Every structure is written in C-alpha cells, then in structure tokens.
Amino acid sequence: MAYDIGFLDREGIRTACDWARQEGWNPGLKDQEAFAAQDPEGFLGLQVDGELAATISLVSYGPSFGFLGFYICRPDLRGRGLGLALWNEALRLKPARSIGLDGVKAQQANYARSGFVLAHENIRHGGLKPSGYSQGNPALTALAAADAEAIDHFEQKHRLFPAPRTRFLAEWLRHDAMALRRDGEIVGYGVIRQCHEGWKVGPLFADNLGDAETILRGLLTRMPEGTFYLDTPATNRAAVDLAVSLGLKPMFETARMYRGPAPAIDTAKVFGITSFELG
C-alpha cells in the first residue's frame, strides 16, 4: 500500500487529539495549543490516498529528551503495517538521547522491541470531586503564562521533569494553575484543565503530601461539581494514597518506558503527572 509521511500542521494536530478522544484517552479541550507550542514538528502523520491514516507524536524538549504519544491508526486500516511504518520513521526523524512514553501495558512487549525499557507504572484515578474538600489558602498564588520561566526553573532544580520546557509551560499555565509559596519561594505547583469528560489535575508537584494536598484543594475550587482525574506514578505511595483517600478509583495503568538513559526524576515529589501524551 502506497503512503506518504510528513509533519502535521495545526489542523492535523487537532485531528490527532480528536482521534485520541475517540479512543477514550480524554485529552484536554485545549491540549493541542501547548503541544504545538513546544515543538511545531512534534506530530507526524501517514496518509493513504491523500487522507490521514495514522498519527504519532514525538515532541522534542531539545536534543536530550523527547516524548512519544498519539500513536493511533485509523480503525479501518489497522493490521496493514502502517502504524509501524510511521513509528519507525518518527524515531528516525526525531532522534533524542532519551525518549519516553506512557503506553498501555498490553503493548509493553512491542515497545520493548524498539529498545524501550520499563521505568515504572502509572495509575489513572478518577471520581467525583469530594464535597467540602476544595478550599483556598493564602499561600497559594495564581500562575500565568508569564511565570513559565520561573516554573521551568523550579522543575529543573527539583528534578521534576527531564528537560526544560518553557514554551510548553507558557501555554499550559493558561489553564487554572496555582503555586504554593513558602518564605517567597515556590515549593510546589499544580494545574487543572477541562477535558472532554471532566477535569484533569496535572502536573501536581510538591515536596510532600501536605503541600500536595494544599495545592489540590486550591485547584479543585476552580472546577464545578463533577468528575476529575489524577494520574500518579505507582512508585509514589503517598500520591496513590491521596487519590484513594478522596474516593478516586483506579481506572487503568500505563507503563512509563524510556529508550536510552532513564532520566533521574524525583517521583516522590510527583503527585500528578502532567500528561500521558507529553510526559
């Protein structure tokens, strides 16, 4: 079957996000803006007869790190090797010293054949916003796009993300975002955003459980009553216990895998992962 592979424009990225919605991945309503801002050539598509047949993202955070996601083939064209062809071309066109992904556990063996090694598992928790749980705190301050550099510095200082991502954060912080400060210093922050179904909290970064809960309480004041989701590294027992204490139920797990050296992330401070699609 003849096909063409190329980078996706903004409309193509929107299509990839819509396919992810149809697969039940429940992306945020405005995720594509931040994804495209970080790497305008981060999404690739495979076309058959001029129509998009498969997508993949391999978003670059510089030469040291990239993150792979949105690996989707149109249902009517599956089983023909198109997805694998796109996968191989993405890895060729977008090299990085380390590449991460969050894949469904059933595909873990397939990713291993391309050199990806399991680092840890993640758990998506979901449920109704607890009654009376959300509350403000004078130590919490709102964040905006202008705070992207300061937040990027905080993440790098505390080993919360593998590489600088100021361009991504400048868009991500346009959602409802809050920082917890102590003696004028940022000690944690979080973001909550509306998705096609409910709301997602991510990231939720803090030094300890108490600080994470303070930030989470503040973030939940920004959403109406309804469902929210929190993605936690399974290695952070305190994060998992926090989700369970709120009545959230495990929905599914992903395998965080890396090709190349695994970044030295302090998952004990990661109470909520930013995104299964971009790390």
pLDDT by residue for the chain (279 residues), tens only, comes to 789 999 999 999 999 999 999 998 999 999 989 989 999 999 999 999 999 999 999 999 989 999 999 999 999 999 999 999 999 999 999 999 999 999 988 889 999 999 999 999 999 999 999 998 988 899 999 999 999 999 999 999 999 999 999 999 999 999 999 999 999 899 999 999 999 999 999 999 999 999 999 999 999 999 999 999 999 999 999 999 999 999 999 999 999 999 999 999 999 999 999 999 988
pLDDT for the residue 258: 97
pLDDT for the residue 1: 72
pLDDT for the residue 136: 85
pLDDT for the residue 2: 87
C-alpha span between 61 and 76 (Å, rounded): 33
With H, G, I as helix, E, B as strand and everything else as coil, classify residue 138: coil
Give the dihedral sign, CA 215/221/224/225: positive
Give the dihedral sign, CA 160/200/233/16: negative
Of 206, 216, 192, the closest CA to residue 135 belongs to 216
Please say whether the beta carbons of 190 and 216 come within 8 A: yes
Q: Which residue segments constitute the domains of the chain, with CATH numbers given? A: 4-109 (3.40.630.30), 125-272 (3.40.630.90)
C-alpha span between 51 and 115 (Å, rounded): 30
